Homo-oligomer: A and B are copies of this chain.
């Protein structure tokens, strides 16, 4: 059987918020490693990669690898029935076609369980190569979300340019053009507010705002976000989930000649 317990359902709620805009359905792969999800978004443009490590759970048991296909709208309805401080336990029998979510209030006077049918989803196994990147930018996740939101007012695309001077986000359109420049901060007191730029080689790439804005739905999961870029390979937007894992989004750059 499979059983995984988290003492606070809040994290699970945030994880769901972070993927449900991009995915209608999702296959969660459960194994000794933890719970993993890799999937192209609905429009097959971006890619979501999620890992919740087994050691991050308060209890974790997985006798046999299993894949749980879930409709995320249904899952969202169920998770919303939990209070943020409820303990949540996910259970499934081996080869079962249902999964059970159990929520327990801190005082143990309210116990609810929700059973959901699993789906058989086409498994698209995606090889994601681990590569070295020309530029890595760490910054406050709310800052990144704000930049994406602000720039999407100006056009459909954001150009991200990373040089030794810092990182510049740009957009242009009918109403005008916008540039937002960030420089590395030397604020070591508040690590969560710092901007850290690791540039091996300057890179300038352009991305569709729409997807970046979907990625920023993960903002509540982590105070910092890391952007990794190299020429001609997908951008990686990574949010660490404290003590539990991470969620990564991959988005291929727009081809520059297409930019009209």
Chain A residues at the B interface, C-beta cutoff of 8 Å: 71, 74, 77-78, 80-81, 98, 107-117, 143, 150, 153-154, 175-183, 185, 187, 195
Contacts and interface: CB of A to CB of B under 8 A. Distances in A.
Contacts of A77: 153-154, 175
A74 B175 contact: yes
A150 B81 contact: yes
Given A78-B176, A115-B176, A181 B98 contact: no
Given A78-B176, A81-B150, A112-B179, 13 more contacts: A74-B176, A78-B153, A107-B187, A110-B143, A112-B180, A113-B179, A114-B176, A114-B179, A115-B176, A115-B177, A115-B178, A116-B176, A117-B175
A82 to B, nearest CB: 9
A98 B180 contact: no
Contacts of A154: 77, 114
A112 B81 CA distance: 42
Contacts of A181: 110-112
Contact of A107 (B112, B115, B185): B185
B71 A110 contact: no
A185 to B, nearest CB: 5
B110 A182 contact: yes
